[in-house]
Amino acid sequence: MVAVVPARGGSTGFPGKNLAPFLGRPLLTHAISAGADAKRVSRVLVSTDDEQIGQAAIEAGAELVRRPVELAGPTSRTVDAVLHAVDHCRLPDEAVVVLLQPTTPLRTAADVDECLDLHDGRHTGSVVQVSSSAEHHPWKSCVLVDGRLTPVREWADLEAPRQLLPAVLRPTGGVYVVCAGDLRSQRRFFVPEVLAQQIPPERAVDIDTEDDLRRAEELARTMLS
């Protein structure tokens, strides 16, 4: 099992985000530790275009994969960076790849192990960490098509009591598990049959801003107290 931590240097909304301190250590280091401390992960790779991130990755015990600049722009896809790392290391199709993003620091090594246990023995499909969402139900939304409203699913959903709609789960960004072969052939992390590892909302904070970082630290200290 190989964990890949994607950590490009640029971040428009939060400069230096991947090296931002969280409970005294960079966000990057927490992601590396989650992989290194998982019982079934044998290698942790860090994909980056940034020298400082690369040095921090090496100091934390990870293997460094230097990411090409064309895969490190603001619109670059994470899956392409992970695929580059997988191919760079010549991982076989049957290798199990674990994506660990630095921006979800409340994900744990135990979460990684649980996701790997869910995936165990499968030759295809993926596992995704999710959490419940209290936000607007997606079925109660519309899109504009040629200037006219169209329901995301059905018109009846827009007037249905929320309690009668299925619970909404959102990916946390914390853990994705998929075989290298599926990643190569489908170029995505959501490969049916997708299994879910669910965590409570208070551990599902995704860091996009400095306010998110402060909130995650407050939650972490509460859980540690």
- pLDDT for the residue 133: 80
Structure tokens at 219: 């939650």
The answer to whether the CB of 162 falls within 8 A of the CB of 168 is no
Residues in the chain: 225
- pLDDT for the residue 31: 97
Q: Count CB-CB contacts under 10 A for residue 84.
A: 19
- pLDDT for the residue 138: 92
- pLDDT for the residue 135: 77
If you search the block for the tokens 């699913």, which residue do you land on?
Answer: 153
How far is 99 from 109, CA to CA, in rounded Å?
Answer: 13
Which stretches of the chain are DSSP H helices? Answer: 27-36, 51-59, 78-88, 109-119, 180-186, 210-224
- pLDDT for the residue 190: 97
- pLDDT for the residue 74: 86
- pLDDT for the residue 15: 83
The pLDDT averaged over each successive group of 10 residues in the chain (225 residues) is 93 85 95 97 96 96 95 91 96 97 96 96 94 87 96 95 91 97 97 96 92 92 81
How far is 66 from 72, CA to CA, in rounded Å?
Answer: 10
Could you tell me which residues come within 8 angstroms of residue 41 by beta carbon, excluding any fewer than 6 positions away? 1, 2, 3, 35, 98, 112, 116
The answer to whether the CB of 33 falls within 8 A of the CB of 109 is yes
- pLDDT for the residue 134: 72
| Residue closest to 91 by CA, chosen among 202, 190, 181 | 181
| Residue closest to 117 by CA, chosen among 171, 39, 184 | 39
Q: How far is CA 120 from its chain centroid?
A: 19
